[in-house]
Amino acid sequence: MGDEKSEKNGLRGELLATRRLLSPTDVLGAAAALARQAMLLPELAGASTVAAYVSVGREPGTRALLDALRAQGTRVLLPVLMPDNDLDWAAYEGPGRLLPAARGLLEPDGERLGPEAVLSAEAVLLPGLAVDGRGVRLGRGGGSYDRVLARIAAAGTDPALVVLLYVNEVVEQVPAEPHDHPVHAVVTPQGVRRFTERTGPVGSA
């Protein structure tokens, strides 16, 4: 398992270095295209509740997508980072209701709904740095979304799991650890790719 962790860290470094080369104009243009592509997914266009997140820095932008979801009447839940790195949730009420938080994040200022609130979502948008052909996602390594995915698996709610990335971040292989859960689709500014549905952890095989 140590090898997988080391490989993940090396891949994270490479991908973050590539993101740092993007200009603000690149990021804004990609965000608009990402929103258009994401809204073509029936799992998002037809959802009553979507768990999402607010992009920061040079992450694939989610702001336009959050507003598009809200405009169609979808209830959007956003994460609130807790001291133990787990995630609470609150409803998105528009860009003017986002507040600066720890680690450079932006969080909604509304009522905290509890970690279990994510279980009401029909689709969950996941941040990441890469995904491979099996649907294995590479996160930043903080573990917050591993907890979210474990909570979802334990509850058996089976929402659509969608990761938002730049096209170069869809890679041949991501090192997998036993706790990794595959996603169902990746959205890039260039389009959508679906993966074979699988349940449970990927494992290291």
Is 144 known to sit in a ligand binding site? yes
Is 59 known to sit in a ligand binding site? yes
Q: Which of 89, 97, 175, 104 is nearest to 136 (CA)?
A: 175
Is 156 known to sit in a ligand binding site? no
Name residues whose C-beta falls within 8 Å of residue 23's C-beta, 6 or more positions apart in sequence: none
Is 9 known to sit in a ligand binding site? yes
Is 141 known to sit in a ligand binding site? yes
Is 96 known to sit in a ligand binding site? no
Is 8 known to sit in a ligand binding site? yes
Is 145 known to sit in a ligand binding site? yes
Is 36 known to sit in a ligand binding site? no
Is 11 known to sit in a ligand binding site? yes
Is 12 known to sit in a ligand binding site? yes
Cβ-count burial 156-176 (b if 16+ within 10 Å, e if not): eeebbbbbbbbeebbbeebbb
State whether residue 170 is helix, strand or coil: strand
**Distance between alpha carbon 202 and the CA centroid of its chain, in Å?**
18
Is 143 known to sit in a ligand binding site? yes
How is residue 57 written in tokens? 């820095």
Is 138 known to sit in a ligand binding site? yes
Name the residue with tokens 């490989």: 7
Q: What is d(CA 183, CA 132) in angstroms, rounded to the nearest whole number?
A: 10
Q: What are phi and psi of 77, to 5 degrees?
A: -100, 135
Q: Are the C-beta atoms of 71 and 99 separated by less than 8 Å?
A: no
The annotated binding site for substrate is made up of 54, 59
Q: What are the binding residues for ATP?
A: 8-12, 137-145
Binding-site annotation: residue ranges: 8-12, 54, 59, 137-145
